[in-house]
Structure formats: C-alpha cells, structure tokens
A and B are shown apart, each in its own frame.
Chain A
Amino acid sequence: MNIVGVDIGGTFTDLVGYVGGHIVTSKTSTVPADPTKGIATSLDLAGCETGSVDELLHGSTIAINTVLERKGARTALLTTTGFRDVYAIGRSNRIEAFNLFFERPEPLMPRDLTFEVRERILATGEVLEPLDEKTLDEAVAWVDGMGVEAVAVCLLHAYVNPEHERRIGAALRQRRPDLFITLSHEILREYREYERTSTTVLNAFVGPRVGGYLRRLDGYLRDASFGGKVHIMRSNGGVMSLRLAQEQPVSMMESGPVAGMIGAGRLSKLLGLERCVGFDMGGTTAKSSLLTGGAPVIETGYVIGDKATGQPMQLPVVDIVEVGAGGGSIAWVDKTGGLHVGPKSVGADPGPACYGKGSADPVVTDADLLLGRINPRRFLNGGMALDVEAARRAMQEKVAGPLALSVPQAAHGVVRIADAAMSLSVRAVSVNKGVDPRDTAMIAFGGAGPLHAISIAREIFIPTVVIPKLPGTFSALGMLMASWRQDFVQTLIGRVGDLQASHAEEVFAELAAAGRDQLTRDGIDPATADFRYYADLRYVGQEHAISIPVESAALLTGEARTVRDRFDREHDKRYGQSAPSETMEVVSLRLVLTAARSDSLAEQWLSQPWTPDSDAGTEHRDVVFDDPERPVKTQILWRNALKAGARIVGPAVIEEPNSTILIHPDDEVRVTDAGHLVVTLKY
C-alpha cells in the first residue's frame, strides 16, 4: 500500500510518503496561484508515481486564506424575523478597550443580502410560529433573484428543532441545485445564535472556492491515473472524505498545523511519554499543544484571523496555542528603546536578510546564523547559500546600533526574546493547564523547531526534548497517521439526577444515528468505528462547561456518581477547586466518531530500526550559547551519519537536510534504536 501526505503551507509544500516500502519526502515552494502544481512538483521530487498511490492525504490553507483575504462567494443569509442583524451585532464587545477607533468583526456578507423568514421556534423546540408555504416560496424566490453563489440558513433555536431549516434547505436545493447551501443545524447543533450564524456563514462563504479547488485536485489526480482515495485533514485532528470536505469546508480551517500534533501524539505513545508538549516552529509562528496519552486536546470554538476582529467558528479544533514568533519574525526597536521580535514576519519573499534578496530587516534566522547556530552552506540541504554579511548589516543597523550593543549581543537578545515569547505558548498549554512542565517532555519539529526547542524547554524546566526523524516535514508525516473523525453535538439541558432517562436515551440515539449515517456515506463499516460520547457538564449557575466522558445515557440519570466524580476531579484540576456537594447540570451531548486507519505504515516507520546512510565526519565551528562575547568551539554532526545508540554530550550542532538541532553544553543526546534523538537537559 502506497500512501502520501501533502501539506501546503504559506511558504513550503511538504510531502511525506510511504511508497514501495520506503519513506520518501520532499519540500518545495508553494505555488499560490495553482496549488495543485505544487503537489505535482512535490510528488515528482519525491519520486512518487501518482498512479501507484493508493491514498493521498492533504492539508491546505485554502479555506483559512479565503476568509483572511475575504475572497469567498457572494453569500446570502436567511434568518428568523427580527434577527436580521444577529450577525452584524455579534456580541457587541470591543476587545481593544482603549482604542477609540476600534472596529468589530466585519461580516463576510452585507446586510442587504439578509432575508428574514417569518417563523419562530422556542428554546424547548416548540413551534411558536409555523413556517408557511407562502413564506417559504418568498424566501426561495428572493434567493433566486439575488445573484448569489452560496446561502447560509441560521434560524433561532434550530439546534433543538431543525424542521424549518430542513424545509428551507430542501426547497432551495430543489429550485437552485447549483447553489452552495449550508443549514446551521447540519454543522452545529449548539445554542448561541451569533457564533452559530458566523460558523454557518463561514462554511457557505468558503464553500464554492474550496469546492472548486478540491474538484480540480481530484481531476488532476484522476488525469494522472490516480485510482485511490483522497482524504482531507480537518481542524479536529482527523481526516474526512473529499465529499464531506466539499460539504463542510469550514472544518478544514486549521488543516495544516494539526497534523504535526497528531504525529507528535503517536510518537509520544511509542516512546511511552504520558504527557508531553508538541512544539512546531515554522517561518511566521510557533505552535504548541499539550499531548496527553498520545493525543492533543480538542477544544470547541476558535477565531479565524485576528483575535479582536476575526470571525468566530464554533467547531472542534485541536487546542493549539500559536504565537507570532518564527524564523522569519522581524526584530525591531521601539521609540522608547524596547526590543521586540515579531509579530510581523518577512515571509518567503524577500525572506530573511541572509537570503540576500535585499531585505534589511533582521529576523530570528539571521540571529541564529550570526550566532553560528546555522550552517550557511547546508541550509535547505545546501539548496540555498546564506549571506552572513547581509545578516550582520541588518542586525547592526536595526538593533545593535540603536541599543548600543555589539552584533552578537543583539543577535543573542533577539533569540532570547523570541524564545521567551515561544515559551509563553508552551507555558499556555502546560503550566496554565495545571500541568507541571517537569513532568513532561517536549517533541519539537517544524523547520526551525529543533534549533530553538531546547532553550525554550529550559525556560520552563522541561527535562527532556525529543527530535523525531524528519522534523522538517513532520506535519506531512502526521497526516499519514490521522484517523477518520467526525464530531457531533446536540444540546441537552437538564439537572443531572432530574434528567428523564427516555429523553437522554433519545438524544444518544439521535447522535448514534447521525454518526452511522455519516459513516455509511463515506463507505466505512460502522462496526469498525469507535463511538465515544461526552457530556458537557457544569455546576448549576456556571456557564462554562467541561466535557466529561459518558458511556451511556444511564450514567447521566439517577445518582450519576461516576460522572459526578469525574467532573469534580476535572474541575479541581483545571480551576484549583471543586464543589462536590453542588448540583450538576448537563448542557450538551457530544459524539466523537473515529475510524482508525486500516494501515499503520507511518507509525511502524516511526519505530523502525534506524540505520545511518552517510559517513560524514565531524567538523567544528564557533557557536554562541550563553555568552555572546564568548563563542564555544562546537562539534558539527550530520544526523544521517549518527548510529543508533550513539550518545553525544553538548555543545553540539546536529545538521540534517531540512532542519538543524542545537544541543547546549552538558546536555546529553541519545539516538534511539528508531533514530529519534532524545535530549536530556542538564539543570
């Protein structure tokens, strides 16, 4: 079986495949105008015969970029009478509290593309005002006349009774089968009308463009005699069929970043690490996620774009904390003499000053180069020579000069500030969740991750850092391990203990039926799937709920002792207190439906014995660690020449085709039998 994962990011298109019994990989520049071209090139570079590939897994930034660039479809919105402006009013908050010129999120479609439908359903699901045929006809006729490509329908309380949305959807689909139609209850069955409307509109807005892209991708693959399956990476850490991706493109917003965390989770399991932090550092951002028992946490709710002015999306997403610090983050000095790194970054073009493409802004990669940490001749496997002098000039002019520091001092400061910022993202997913970093390990990847990981880990006392095989294209590798996954949620409100058993069972049954239906449509045997149910619980009076596993409706009725204990424990863990004597209530039920991959090729490769394929010798270079004025003579090793079982004591720099690993003095590296590097930090 041949499988290939392709991750299209802003700068690079990464590929990792398991083809003909071997792992293959490639990295090539993304072609924004025609991403399928990037896929073709990366397949070529990796030596993959498209026709021989049985399954292609794909992650892409197309959905999120369509929103960030506001280049989606002309979209109409149908709402309940009286609620035309729910989407524009939002939550009325002003996140930048002191900004007198603050703008709240701008709707993705204008007010005059909204139509109010006369109908009303109550919170209980009862119909207060029925949807009559005449109203339905008017709504359909209005949509027909507005010249739109997509329609979002979000009616009040449709999460509890979707009947009116269904009828509108059916009538629209019959009259205009060419339109992309999203009904709120089809993607989200939770209360909060603004967030549900926003999620529904996001889906409709990106639908036509993402659909077109996926059709072109499919067409290209079929033309290249590809006969396998295509799976699309989604924000919840699973994959979905091409068909489902076309219906629910909103769920592929974080398609790229999550795959690396899935891969890191699997690796942590293989290494027997109960808790660790996945750390992924790329060109513009660094991402962290807490991995427990081999998997990241999945949260509900997320903002697409800037936190203050972005579009809320209320679907499950891998809990990743992102900070604006990466290899390309620009270092700058403000008017008062404060030194900052990011959040602006140079991107691929012109890139860092050391790329020699004329940029005069020093970035983190320039600082790494000036400190001797990166090899100017081996960057991107020797594919790009770096200009040390250009980096020095930029650092001198923009940082060292204004702060009256030497260039090495300035470069060292830039790296320390970037590391401190990134350590806050690591802290946010560990310390801030009540996890003591001393009980964790870090798994570091992404092009720049292995270079910075160890000093970041040291900031918060993480004792061990693991650098996996293929750290530079690890996200694409992660795709090869992702399960098929679909999340379902249904509002169910009631006090635990008073809940009617029949009602709870009914909701469980509805979720199960929806799950089986989705499996069948994607050609998966329900018997092979894993159905896991969760109840969102809270103490009566609280608003924020915590998802707690429940195996059956019975656990929520009667005394519910098991669930009670689980909830109290989790509450105490998260918030430092619990109230075991208080009444508990349920808010919604969730079903997480997964179907594991039939193969485990990529996982097997992760534990496959390592054999060096090169015998490059050791070189030496001066590298700055703690004291910018006193560089340390450091051994430079080629990773592909290291033997399993080898032990190296820092200082050392370990170089490989798409990444560089910096080992600080006295830290100890062990090459595992499978070829991963385990670094034990010396405190």
Chain B
Amino acid sequence: MTKATTDPITIEVVRNAVVAYADEMADVLSKSAYNMMIYEVRDYCCGLIDTEGRMISQNRGGLPIFLADLGVAVEDGIKRYGLDGFAEGDVLVMNHGHICGQHLNNVVVYAPCFHDGELIGFAANRAHWVDIGGGRQGFGSNATTDIYSEGLQMRSLKIYDAGKANETLLQIIRDNIRYPDASLGDLRAQIASCQVGARRFGELVGRYSRATVDECVATIWAQADRQVRSVIEKIPDGTYSATSFLDNDGRALDKPLRIKVTVTVAGARMSVDFSEMNPQVDGPLNSGRSGGIAAARVAFKALTSPNLDVNEGCFRSLDVVLPEGTMLSARPPAALGQWSIALPTVIDTILKALAPAVPEMIPAAHKGDMGGCSFFGFYGDGSRFLLMNIFGGGWGGRPHGDGASASVSVCQGDVRNTPVELQEIKYPFVIERHMLRPDSGGAGRYRGGLGVELTYRVLRACKGNINFDRTVTPPWGLDGGKEGAVSLAIIERADGRTENVNKATNVAFEPGDRVTFLTAGGGGYGDPRERDHGLLQSDIEKGLVSTEAARRDYGFAAKGESQPAMRMAANS
C-alpha cells in the first residue's frame, strides 16, 4: 500500500470532495425520483461508508434523523457476504426491520466502491418508498401490530449481482407493493445515485491513494470530535433529566406514553440514557435501536456541532444507553410503521433536560410532531391516488428572540410542504385555506412561533389518516413562558356534523366533507408580562396575537383598535 501523504491542504480537498459526492448522489436521486416523499419531502439520505460501516460523509439537507445510520445497513451486508464477497456491479437492497430499526418504507440501496480491484468502501442511500406492501397506506396508520403486517422485508439482497439484474427479486417487489411503477422508478434513481457515488469515490482514491484518503478521513473525524468536546467541556458536569408524554400509541387512547431521558455530562463526554423510556407498545409507534440513537444524535449535534458536515466524528463523544425492549429499541416482531413519531418529542425532552445547565443554548419546546396527513383512494378509472403533505408548526421562543412560525419539526430539516396548487392539480381536493394560526404561539417575553391552519374539502370519496400528538404534554414554555396551542384536526361532514380528532386511521370521507388541520404553536420563553410592548402591539397589528389573548396572556391592553387589525378582522 502506498504511504499516506496528508497535509492541511489535501485534508481540506478531501473534506470538500466527499461531501460534494454525497450531494451529487442526492441530486441524482431527488431529480429523477417518482414520489413526493423523495422529490418534495426529501425523505432520504446519501453517503459514503467505509469498509467497517462507518460514515465518511453524508449529503447536506437530507433528513436529520438519518444521522450516520446508513452504516448499520451496510454492516449487515459485510457480515453476510464478507469483505471479499462483493464484486463491481453489485447493488444491494436492505430494509430489514430489526436491523434498520425503521419503517419498512425506508429502503437502503448500496453499492461497493472499488479502486484497482480493491474494495474501498460503499456508496449508499436510503429513500422513503411510497408503499412497501402490507396493511398500511400513506403515513399515519396505527392499525398494525407486527412487522409482518407492514410489508416486504429485504435483508441485504443483491438486486444486481456483478452487473446482472436479479429478475426474481424485482418480480417479488413488483407483485407485493401498491405503486410498483413509482417504487421501481425510485429504485432506479437510488441505484444510479449509488453508482455515481461509487465512481467518484474511486476517482478520489485513484488521485490521492487509499492510505492518504483514509488518513484524511481519520483527521476530519478527529477535528470534528475536537470541536464537539470543546463544547461539551463548557457544559457544567452533572446529571440532568426530564420527562414528557406522548398522548397514546393510537390504540389504547387513554394511556399516555412516558418519555424519560437522563443526560450525564462528565468532562468532554455526554451520555443520553433511555433506560426509563416507555416499554415498546403493541401498535406501530416503536422504533428499533436506530430510532433512539438518531434522537440522541440530533439533540447532541444541534448542541455541539450544528454547522459541521455529518460524519462519524461528530458522535464519538456521545454514549447512548438504550436497553432492549423500550419504544425506542423494540424487540422483533414489533411493528415499526410509526417509528419516527416519538422522535421530535424525545429530542425536545433531551433539550429540556439540559436547559438548566445551558439556558442560552435551548429554546422552548416546538410543535413536537411530524405533522402530516395522507388521503388515499381511487379515481374513476380504477387507478390509485395517495396525497401526502407535511405541515409546519411553531418553534419555541428563544433566549433572545421569538420562535419561528410554520416550520417543520427538528427531525425534518429541509423537508418541504407540498404546494397547494400542485395538490389541487394532482388530487381531487380543494384546499380552502393555508394560513398562520393566530394565538397559537405560547406567550412569553419571547413568543413561541405560530402553527398553521389548512383546510381540505374532499371532492371524491376516499380515506385518510390523521396523526396528531402532544396534547398531554403541549409544547412547553421555558423560564416562565406559557405553553403553545396543541394541534387538532376538525372534521366537518357535508351534513354539518363536526368532530375533533387527534389520531384516526382509515377515516372514510365523502365529497363535501372538510378536514381542517391546526398545527401546534411553540412554547413561550420568559415571563409574558416582560414582553416588549412595541413587539406585542406589532403582533396585534399583524393579526398574530388577538387583543383578547394579549389581555389574557400578557396583561396588555392594545392601543385602540388599530386600523390594520380592524381591516384584517373584517377581511378574514
């Protein structure tokens, strides 16, 4: 093997290059994908993995909860085939529930990278397939109780073996999922993306030698870890814990689920302990270990290295204590369909635990759910439709400013809502409004951000899933700030009946029915009575806070009825 020749400059070149390759993989994937979960929602991640299953680089702007966890999938393949069991032209698919720990829709595709015949690593991506068979449609279903009812599992299978397509496997996939054209199109995009990544990484190693690239990567990880440790060292040593609750598992509606975390800071290390987490549940609100690890990592990264590109080094100083059998480390054959639902609240709770230690770094709680809806049915010609959308909500007030409104959860990053015009072009609905939800932001010296209101009118009979949470523990305030408004869905039937719903699976809708989704606001930060009156007056004029709420929550009497506020009231 050639000797490594690294210097600060080569390291910098490699640092930029490996991330640029992951970004290029993401570009190929998202631009040629067939389902909105990839091209619109960006529910995917791409990266380069070394021969030990460690993350060399990951694309920017993918889903934050996919944090350095492609390695688990690749490791499984390495165990199965051995490092000498891969050939150029191999492509593998992997979504096994117990190994990956996520819902089966998240399909990992990976390809070995070679240089001069030597295996040097893997290019991998994970993308959310619109359907994977089984009893669930869209997202938000709480109907399943084991992994077998959730669809097709594929464990490190070669869908291409040395360049030759595995037609049997392709046929099995095609015959067992609801939207085979879309998913096989996505699979094509995933494969092309891996091929690009594998080729680029091979070129890089060809240019600088494997020893040099390996050493650069090791240095990049060490540098990331050094920054992370310098931040942890500033956090006072101690043990911090916090508890919150999810409403229920969508099945036993009167049974809240406990989220308890204990964070220990000792010198330059941090540990997140989930030992007292709620045990796994009968329904699909479970994740495997990777869910718990993802939650701990998102919180950890937000605190210690928010600006660094994601790689293995960012998490070297984090320990996660996660015994088997909790709702974040479920044993097989647990259902995993709603694997990510608990994560925003888990992350919020880790941050809350640390708030007393580092108040300057922690905002009040955010809306705390993944905030989406799905409607599915058939057109007149028998073809299926599936509408999925993601909503923003309020983020918590901050030590020095108001929370952001209408933003996706901490687990979603660059995930986007679906344009109203696009939804109406593609699906049989009229969307009657999409606006900010006044008075939803928790009162505080710094106000929580606002949730949104979105009303769908159904044009064609269909079904839908509703999945809101966090009414038992609303988005909390910090330092005396008040809670944000909780989320809620209101169904108005064509005949005038209305019902309020938080969780419901396979709800039938008829033409003329309306569903309004109200998403949660963020918690407030600091005593509301200390809010600057100029800011409050401006909130009132802009219609973000009503005069009644200003009086009730802030003890503030608005200056007369300002002109704009009056017009807005008349106009809305």
Binding site for B on A (CB under 8 A): 81-86, 88-104, 110-112, 115-116, 122-123, 128, 142, 156-157, 159, 191-195, 335-340, 403, 413, 416-417, 420-421, 424, 427-428, 432, 493, 539-544, 571, 574-577, 579, 582
Contacts and interface: CB of A to CB of B under 8 A. Distances in A.
Interface stretch (B139-147, B284-292, B539-547): B539-547
21 contacts: A82-B432, A88-B406, A90-B406, A92-B391, A92-B416, A92-B452, A95-B413, A102-B404, A122-B430, A123-B424, A192-B421, A193-B419, A194-B419, A416-B9, A424-B20, A427-B20, A542-B39, A543-B33, A544-B31, A576-B192, A577-B32
B479 interface: no
A574 B28 CA distance: 8
Interface string B48-84: 0000000000000100100000000000000000000
A191 B362 CA distance: 38
B434 A98 contact: no
A352 to B, nearest CB: 21
B34 interface: yes
Interface stretch (B162-170, B180-188, B241-249, B324-332): B180-188
Interface string B195-221: 110000000000000000000000000
Interface string B79-91: 0000000000000
Interface string B32-44: 1111100110000
Interface stretch (B104-112, B152-160, B222-230, B336-344): B222-230
B415 interface: yes
Given A98-B306, A110-B542, A420-B9, A544 B392 contact: no
B552 interface: no
A-B pairs, top 10 by smallest CB distance, nearest first, are A82-B433, A97-B413, A92-B392, A576-B192, A91-B416, A98-B306, A541-B34, A575-B32, A191-B421, A112-B564
B191 interface: yes
Contacts of A156: 420-421
Contacts of A421: 16
A542 B32 contact: yes
A191 B413 contact: no
A336 B413 contact: no
Given A83-B433, A539-B185, A579-B185, A123 B425 contact: yes
Contacts of B414: 93-95, 97
A275 B39 CA distance: 30
B542 A99 contact: no
Given A85-B434, A582-B181, A493 B425 contact: yes
Contacts of B362: 100
A100 B27 CA distance: 26
Contact of A576 (B28, B36, B404, B408): B28
A128 B226 CA distance: 60
Nearest to A112: B564
Contact of A337 (B61, B223, B306, B404): B223
A98 B409 CA distance: 11
A574 B185 CA distance: 15
Nearest to B419: A192
B413 A541 contact: no
Nearest to A86: B434
Given A112-B564, A579-B185, A544 B39 contact: yes
A159 B419 CA distance: 14
Contact of B16 (A90, A159, A420, A539): A420
B185 A542 contact: yes
B32 A128 contact: no
B568 interface: yes
Contact of A424 (B16, B39, B361, B390): B16
Nearest to A405: B8
B171 interface: no
A82 B516 CA distance: 12
Interface of B: 7-9, 11-13, 16-17, 20, 24, 27-28, 30-36, 39-40, 61, 64, 179, 181-182, 185, 188-189, 191-192, 195-196, 223, 226-227, 230, 298, 301-302, 305-307, 351, 361-363, 390-392, 398, 401, 404-408, 410, 412-417, 419-422, 424-425, 430-436, 452, 455, 541-544, 564-565, 567-568, 571-572
Contact of B421 (A100, A111, A123): A123
Given A99-B302, A112-B565, 6 more contacts: A88-B406, A92-B415, A101-B398, A338-B11, A544-B30, A577-B191
Contact of B416 (A93, A122, A142, A413): A93
Nearest to A96: B306
B407 A542 contact: no
A111 B9 contact: no
B9 A417 contact: yes
A116 B404 contact: no
Given A92-B391, A103-B404, A571-B32, A432 B27 contact: yes
Contacts of A157: 421, 424
Contacts of B30: 544
A84 B434 CA distance: 8
A91 B389 CA distance: 11
A88 B408 contact: no
B542 A111 contact: yes
A544 B433 contact: no
Contact of A543 (B11, B40, B420, B544): B40
Nearest to B194: A576
B8 A576 contact: no
A111 B405 CA distance: 13
Contacts of B407: 92-94, 102, 104
Contacts of A81: 433
B255 to A, nearest CB: 31
A104 B404 contact: yes
B223 A93 contact: no
Nearest to B38: A543
Contacts of B302: 98-100
Contacts of B417: 89, 91-93
Contacts of A338: 8, 11-12, 223
A416 B425 CA distance: 50
Contact of B192 (A116, A128, A577): A577
Contacts of A83: 420, 433-435
A82 B434 contact: yes
Given A92-B392, A543-B33, A420 B408 contact: no
A81 B455 CA distance: 12
Contacts of B185: 539, 541-542, 579, 582
Nearest to B310: A98
Given A92-B407, A94-B413, A101-B363, A82 B195 contact: no
A101 B307 CA distance: 12
Given A94-B414, A336-B227, A193 B189 contact: no
B191 A191 contact: no
Contacts of A112: 541-543, 564-565, 568
Given A338-B223, A432-B24, A543-B36, A417 B435 contact: no
Nearest to B17: A424
**Which of A92, A95, A574: most chain B CB closer than 10 A?**
A92
Nearest to B568: A112
Contacts of A115: 567, 571
Contacts of B305: 98
Nearest to B403: A101
B433 A94 contact: no
A99 B302 CA distance: 6
Nearest to A583: B181
Contacts of A542: 32-34, 39, 185
Nearest to B31: A544
A40 B230 CA distance: 55
A91 B182 CA distance: 24
A432 B405 CA distance: 36
A112 B307 CA distance: 35
A97 B61 contact: yes
B543 A111 contact: yes
Contacts of A337: 8, 223
A539 B404 contact: no
